[in-house]
Amino acid sequence: MSIISEFCASVREVVSFGSKLQREQRKEIQTVVGALADELTRSIDLLRIYLDGIRASDFRHRLVPYLRDSGSKLLTSFHEFEVCTGLYELKDRFKGLFDPVGAAVSMDNKSTIIRLIEDLARGERKILDDMDETFSVLRDFADRLDVARDEQEECVVKSDLLGEIRAMKVELGNKKENIKNTARAIIDNL
């Protein structure tokens, strides 16, 4: 399960014991959920920006390395924009929130939350792992462009690539909307 799916599933489960929490605990959970949603959303935004860069690369000699290096380039961007720096701090805060309310949390809810916390501990590496399929598809297109025999074949590959990017961006938009709606529901209902 991806970190985005785990986030959505886990924070929904928080509502089931939200009424048993004190006001300060509810407020802290709302803050952590909102911050986590922001970090995940920023990671999606950076990937979408990177995908936009593919459309701007017209020449094969620039496009092939751009596609092949997508994972490492995005990791560099994550570091530069400190996308996941907050995840490590959030992990500690999130874990600490559930220690005093252990009795109020069912075992199923607690195991899901603990799994999410463990994933947060891996920070940007987990998010990049979730995006690994995207990077694999981009590398496959780089390979196809590399072996294109002529300009016509190269145009076909680029057309296929642009279609795939459009589909990826729609999927990323849906994930982003799901994160936003899930976080909003938790914050509003806790």
State the Cα–Cα distance between residues 170 and 16, nearest whole angstrom.
Answer: 31
DSSP per-residue string spanning 153-182:
HHHHHHHHHHHHHHHHHHHHHHHHHHHHHH
For residue 52, the model assigns a pLDDT of 93
Nearest to 40 by CA among 186, 177, 147: 177
Helical (H) or strand (E) element with 98: helix 85-98
Mean pLDDT, the chain cut into blocks of 10 residues (190 residues total): 66 57 70 79 90 84 91 83 67 59 48 58 65 92 94 94 95 88 73
For residue 121, the model assigns a pLDDT of 55
- Planar angle of CA 5, 9, 13, nearest 5 degrees: 165
In the block, residue with structure tokens 């959030």: 90
For residue 175, the model assigns a pLDDT of 86
Q: How many domains does the structure of the chain reveal?
A: 1
Q: Which two tokens stand for residue 176?
A: 């982003």
Domain that holds residue 135: 3-189
CB-count exposure of residue 77 (10 Å: 0-12, 13-18, 19+): middle
Q: What pTM, to 2 d.p., does this model score? A: 0.75
